[in-house]
Structure 1
Amino acid sequence: MSDTPEQTSPSFEMVRTLGLVSVICGIIIVGVYQFTLPAVNANKKLALERQVFKVLPQAKSVVPYFATGSGIVPAAGQDLPPAGALVFYAVYDAADRLAGIAAEASSSGYADQVRILYAYDVDKQAITGIGVISMRETPGIGDKILTDQAFLQNFEALDVRLSADLQSLANAVKTVKHGTKTSPWQIDAIAGATVTSKAVGRGINESAQKLLPRLLPHLDQLRKPS
């Protein structure tokens, strides 16, 4: 028998080294993510709050809520939303009166998700403004949803009334070809930016269809904030 120690093959050494490097990189990535997460979340919250004050200029205070199948509850103090809950924001003016509701909508655009915030007027039962939270649409084309005045006029009083049974919108919000709008629940698309225009309309329709039937039966609770 030979007393020579068994030698480790070069391929095994390579695999072991690569494995060690992968573990170290994984630990670094997780550490950086955990370290930067609070700052990222704070920036997201700030961006959203800016849009709330943009779409509801009379806002003086904003209270986040969760809308569930059984009612609405303040989001403050809750680490996680209830299962299936929808987030919305009750906005109050200087006299502590309910000035409106802000909610997020999102849908796939030309390049990525188009995330917007819309303002809902509880008396008019209409959307009265939008702001963009994030998007990566083509500069000079898709980003016209921020600057095209004719497009923005769609949201001065976009009809989102509920049906008689309060279970869905009376008329689905729909984006139509530029120049063909005939109803107050339609969105007149931007010529040349139809995909982004449709993303805005689709996102608003999906959000309003889910949120408003849960929200409207509990407006009195919002008008008397604790």
Structure 2
Amino acid sequence: MSSTEQIQARPQTPSLAMLRTLGGVAMLSGLLVVLVFQWTQPLIEENKRIAIEQAVSRVIPGVVSKKDYILGPDGLFLADVPGAQGEKIYAAYNGDGKLQGIALEAAATGYQDVIRILYGYNQDCQCVTGIKVLKMAETPGLGDKIAFDPEFLENFKALDGRLNEQKSGLENAIVTVKHGSKREQWEIDSISGATISSKAIGRMINASGQRMFPLIIQHLDELRTGREN
């Protein structure tokens, strides 16, 4: 038998059959991905809800209950209102139903990745009352100190967030200063060796405060009574 006949005699895999097999594998893989997503999504959302509730209790003292809102230039809406535009905030109340403060999320780029926090704002003193890091990938032993360093966290016990006379923004921009040089109540004393991460916290709170604190004060009556406008 010639070499040409041997080549022709070799069994050939039909292209259509191969395509059907590959298509079936792809469809099965896609179906499994969708099923896994649908199964895990409620668990992820529930874990996120629990984490937020715990964080709210950390940044606002005396919290017993909270109500989720969307707050933006168009107004204050309950978080489950379809089509509401703005940022999500968490109004926190004590056992008597009195507004204890507002918790807000903020984010900025740190040394390695985006840092995301939840922080508390007290409407009476117009000040930040605490922060809780929700997500970060900072250097262990250095940048990650923003999450647990007692001296750094002390900055946020009563960080000045007063509004200007026009109620359009902060009276003083919230800034992070060199470690040991804090002189004003709106300044954040940075962590030595973790300046970039410390400055990220200052930038995100300042940007969030400039934008959100005027809206909170504008809708303070609705927030106190736990209703939307």
TM-score (norm 1): 0.87
1:16 positional shift: 5.4
Q: Which amino acid aligns with 1:57?
A: P
Q: Secondary structure at the match of 2:120?
A: strand
User: 1:82 — aligned with what?
Assistant: 84
Q: Which amino acid aligns with 1:124?
A: C
- Residue 48 (structure 1) aligned to one of 48, 52, 55: 52
Q: Which amino acid aligns with 1:31?
A: L
d(CA) in 1 for partners of 2:50 and 2:22? Answer: 41
What is the count of residue pairs matched by the alignment? 217
User: 1:185 — aligned with what?
Assistant: 186
d(CA) in 2 for partners of 1:206 and 1:8? Answer: 66
- Summarize the Cα distance change of 1:81–1:158 in structure 2 as closer, same or farther, 3 Å threshold: farther
Q: For 1:3-18, what aligned pairs fall within 5 Å after superposition?
A: 17-18=21-22
- Summarize the Cα distance change of 1:178–1:70 in structure 2 as closer, same or farther, 3 Å threshold: same
Kept in 2: contact 1:66–1:81 (CA 8 A): no
Q: For 1:73-222, what aligned pairs fall within 5 Å after superposition?
A: 73-75=77-79, 77-78=80-81, 80=82, 82-83=84-85, 85-222=86-223
- Summarize the Cα distance change of 1:63–1:12 in structure 2 as closer, same or farther, 3 Å threshold: same
TM-score (norm 2): 0.86
1:82 positional shift: 1.2
Q: Secondary structure at the match of 1:66?
A: strand
1:218 positional shift: 1.4
Q: Which amino acid aligns with 2:70?
A: F
Choose 1 or 2 for highest CA Rg: 2
d(CA) in 2 for partners of 1:170 and 1:14? Answer: 69
1:136 positional shift: 2.1
Kept in 1: contact 2:69–2:78 (CA 8 A): yes
Structure 1 portions without partners, runs of 5+: 1-6
Structure 2 portions without partners, runs of 5+: 1-10
